[in-house]
Amino acid sequence: MRLTERHEKLTARSLIRMKSKGQKIAMITAYDFPTARLADDAGVDSILVGDSAAMVVLGYPDTRFVGIDEMITFCRAVTRAVRRALVIGDMPFMSYHVSHEDAVRNAGRFVKEGGVDAVKVEGGRHYADVVRSIVRAGIPVMGHVGMTPQFFVTSVGYRLRGKKVEDAEEVIKDAEEIARAGAFSIVLEFAVSEVAEYLSSTLEIPVIGIGAGPKCDGQVLVLHDVVGLYEKSPPFAKRYADVGTAILNAIKSYVEDVKADSFPGPEHTQFMDSAEREELRKRVGR
Ligand code: KIV
């Protein structure tokens, strides 16, 4: 029996409950129907429709290039597939940075048009009020602190956070403010394990790590890094399969078959009944 047939749909509260029971939370990204269905059937607790789609699906150089309409299309595909996992839509660059009204309106689009259960907002304490506004509108929000790729130009870049005590304190303050603003969970990206351990043990909400060591309440990875479909994976990602090579070899075999005239074979071809074939021959004269 598949997991999705046995379990109820998870909510933001379910993740908080899992933390309180000491159960680890497994989260992965997905952006389309087939991989979201596979992830759900594999038993992930949450699926993030991440703005990493910008690079791993759309081929942009960084996350700032993906737009809200593109993200909502990905969310729709994922929510059509998922039966159990909590689905979180990642609010892209410039969808919550301009004003609180904009942020609430766009978060609402993720829920109403994308069908997601919650949204994720990247950024430290300066975005606490944005989180507060969206939560006030009735939409669960996941925060995202530590390394924040949408802000790589104006903040520290793609760099490990918390190596020095001052920086560790910055990340801790960011997470605490976002938690106080009402987030139901926080992603902690590329930060030292000591910060992850402190936050996981002091915050009531789950801290989901990516590149933040094992002391988090759960982990998230980008699907394309996990299955080997992206060439520029970060050092903290673990590759569990080489699907890229499997796809490449499958397509090479298909090309060879077409060139050698060995595909399609009779099993992939439809024929008329013999009487119909005879009649056709008579009519077309061949
Ligand atoms: O966009 C994304 O995939 C993310 C994860 C790295 C947490 O934000």
Under 8 Å between Cβ of 63 and 88: no
Under 8 Å between Cβ of 210 and 188: yes
Question: Half-sphere exposure (CA, 13 Å, Cβ side) for 59?
Answer: 0
Bridge partners (DSSP) listed for residue 209? 188, 219
pLDDT, residue 6, reads: 57
What stretches in the chain show pLDDT beneath 50? 1, 4
Find the 254 Cα to ligand 1 centroid distance in Å: 34
pLDDT, residue 7, reads: 66
pLDDT, residue 153, reads: 80
For tokens 């940075």, the residue is 97
189 is catalytic: yes
CATH 3.90.1150.10 applies to domain 3-241: no
Q: What is the largest CA-CA distance in the chain?
A: 89
The domain spans of the chain are 3-241, 246-284
Bridge partners (DSSP) listed for residue 89? 49, 119
Structure token digits, residue 199: 């936050």
pLDDT, residue 155, reads: 77
pLDDT digits (tens, 9 = 90+) for 264-273: 999 999 999 9
pLDDT, residue 1, reads: 46
121 lines ligand 1 (CB under 6 A): no
Which one is catalytic: 8, 113, 189, 267? 189
Find the 95 Cα to ligand 1 centroid distance in Å: 16
50 lines ligand 1 (CB under 6 A): yes
Under 8 Å between Cβ of 58 and 65: yes
Could you check whether the bond before residue 140 is cis, i.e. omega within 30 degrees of 0? no
SS3 readout for 193-228: HHHHHHHHHHCCCCEEEECCCCCCCEEEECHHHHHC
Estimate to the nearest angstrom the gap between the alpha carbon of 56 and the chain centroid.
Answer: 11
Find the 56 Cα to ligand 1 centroid distance in Å: 11
pLDDT, residue 61, reads: 93
pLDDT digits (tens, 9 = 90+) for 237-246: 999 999 999 9
Angle, helices 100-112/128-136, rounded to nearest 10 degrees: 50
